[in-house]
Amino acid sequence: GNADLDCELLVLGGGPGGYSAAFRAADLGLDTVLVERYGTLGGVCLNVGCIPSKALLHVAAVIDEAAHASALGVSFGAPQVDIDALRAHKEKVIGKLTTGLAGMAKARKVRTVRGVGQFVDAHHLQVELTKGSGTERNGERQVIRFKQCIIAAGSQAVHLPFLPEDPRIVDSTGALALRSRPERMLVIGGGIIGLEMATVYASLGAKIDVVEMLDGLMQGPDRDLVKIWEKQNAGRFAKVMLKIRTSSVEAREDGLWVKFEGEHAPAEAQRYDLILQAAGRVPNGAKLGAEQAGVAVGERGFIAVDSQMRTNVPHIFAIGDIVGQPMLAHKAVHEAHVAAEAAAGQKSHFDATVIPGVAYTHPEVAWVGLGEDEAKQAGRAIEVARFPWAASGRAIANGADYGVTKLVFDKESHRIIGGGIVGPGAGDMIGEVALAIEMGADALDIGRTIHPHPTLGETIGLAAEVAHGSCTDLP
């Protein structure tokens, strides 16, 4: 057919999955084109996800620490938040990273095309070039012919159908835009994204209610770890409503009036200045004209793939949020490398055993592999080692003696199969547990590894020694 551009590999979507795939493929010698509708690379993660949320969570942590410092003998005044400067700081962080990505694409001679892509057939993608993108053929269409393709078009926030169109009702992207400092805010959805944003806005002084239709916040980690998180967060949020749903929202001039339903739901409508909908994310699979290329898209918009990340059409791969849970950047990047290597003719397969999860809240909660709750439900014979941070000198010194490090071992082989940590820095520590699982380490391997003292990471070694029955009580 007629094509304006030819390539060996086309990557659709410039998020962590897409840019990682394009860079790896280019490094392996494939002539690669990357199509992205927005002006910067980085996708949800860099522009409106992982990175801006962490930039703001860091600021929230600083505010928190300062507020609690008087107990340590140091007092600060009330925080004065300049929201414009805070927003500028967040934008600067994003800018550094997206500029870096653009440079990396250029250095690898990955050609980027800015526009919205739609499949024409199994070897052609039509791109509606984004207006104002500075491209010569602004607003026009361009057809790209490809030999192979990697779909990395990601996901977007679920928009609840009963919510009216109103600028005071936002998803995570709107919340990260930091347009206002609400007095009263409702967060719909008690998952990681909702709780991270709730943590940020609480530190800016908002009075926040969280509503979750399930019977617990933060699905993923073991409940005993979440309980510790809940205790530490008891004062942070005004109300946490479990097993309750929002049934209607009326947008009035004086605020958003929300009605709830459920056993312990507030009887009266509640008034809020801002509502964040964080009730999950849906893959963008249904919006790409994938059927034109013969690619099967599931009912919910996910695209099924094999262990090489190939769709039912073998020369078209899919990676990242669009192929399924967990919707996490590090999963997308790992899959990207598998797909790019397979496209370049290598025998790569997705064979990671575990994918860690982290809630970057205060404190952090991190988990990986099989949790205690899950193992028990599955009736698996396990041994659980729990190391309370009250026995860690560093945790006490840091004011984090409430934390816990927990490791789960297979009862017979004593090999580690899972772990969970609650406490500051948990996300930075969980990588060691993931590595131990991938390497098939047992309690002795971990316990006899010399960990630096005094550190929070030391609690992983100490937990393993608990499992091994030889805890040396080194505070």
Return the number of the residue (153 or 249) whose C-beta is nearest ligand FAD. Answer: 153
Q: Does 354 bind ligand FAD (CB under 6 A)?
A: no
Structure tokens at 283: 């893959």
- Choose among 336, 334, 310, 307: nearest CA to 21: 336
Among 11, 25, 53, 290, contact with ligand FAD (rule: CB under 6 A):
53
Closest distance to ligand FAD from the beta carbon of 151 (Å): 9
> Binding residues for ligand FAD, how many (CB under 6 A)?
36
Identify which range of 30-38, 236-244, 391-399, 445-453 contacts ligand FAD by CB under 6 A: 30-38
β-partners of residue 317 are 150, 310
Out of 58, 89, 315, 453, which one is annotated catalytic? Answer: 453
Kindly write down the DSSP assignment for every residue of 259-276, as one continuous string.
Answer: EEESTT--SS-EEESEEE
Site residues (CB under 6 A) for ligand FAD, limited to 235-294:
284, 288
Return the number of the residue (144 or 193) whose C-beta is nearest ligand FAD. Answer: 193
Q: Does 57 bind ligand FAD (CB under 6 A)?
A: no
DSSP H helices in 208-328: 223-232
Return the number of the residue (192 or 375) whose C-beta is nearest ligand FAD. Answer: 192
Return the number of the residue (18 or 424) whose C-beta is nearest ligand FAD. Answer: 18
Q: Does 117 bind ligand FAD (CB under 6 A)?
A: yes
Beta strand residue intervals within 105-231, DSSP E:
111-121, 124-129, 141-151, 155-157, 169-170, 184-188, 207-212
CA 352 to chain centre: 18
Residue 469, C-beta contacts closer than 8 angstroms, at least 6 positions apart: none
From residue 384, alpha-carbon distances to 24, 358, 376 in Å are: 39, 20, 11
Residue 235, C-beta contacts closer than 8 angstroms, at least 6 positions apart: none
Identify which range of 49-57, 69-77, 104-112, 210-218 contacts ligand FAD by CB under 6 A: 49-57
Q: Does 37 bind ligand FAD (CB under 6 A)?
A: yes
Q: Among this protein's residues, is 453 annotated catalytic?
A: yes
Q: Which residue's entry shows tokens 């394009």?
A: 22
Q: Does 15 bind ligand FAD (CB under 6 A)?
A: yes
Identify which range of 2-10, 47-55, 342-350, 381-389 contacts ligand FAD by CB under 6 A: 47-55
Q: Does 220 bind ligand FAD (CB under 6 A)?
A: no
Structure tokens at 6: 């030819």
Q: Does 155 bind ligand FAD (CB under 6 A)?
A: yes
From residue 220, alpha-carbon distances to 17, 140, 387, 436 in Å are: 23, 45, 20, 20
Cβ atoms of residues 362 and 61 within 8 Å: yes
Q: Does 18 bind ligand FAD (CB under 6 A)?
A: yes
Residue type, position 212, single letter: E
* Chain contacts with ligand FAD (rule: CB under 6 A): 12-18, 35-38, 43-45, 49-50, 53, 116-117, 152-155, 172, 193, 284, 288, 320-322, 327-330, 332, 360
Give the residue numbers annotated as catalytic, written as ranges. Answer: 453
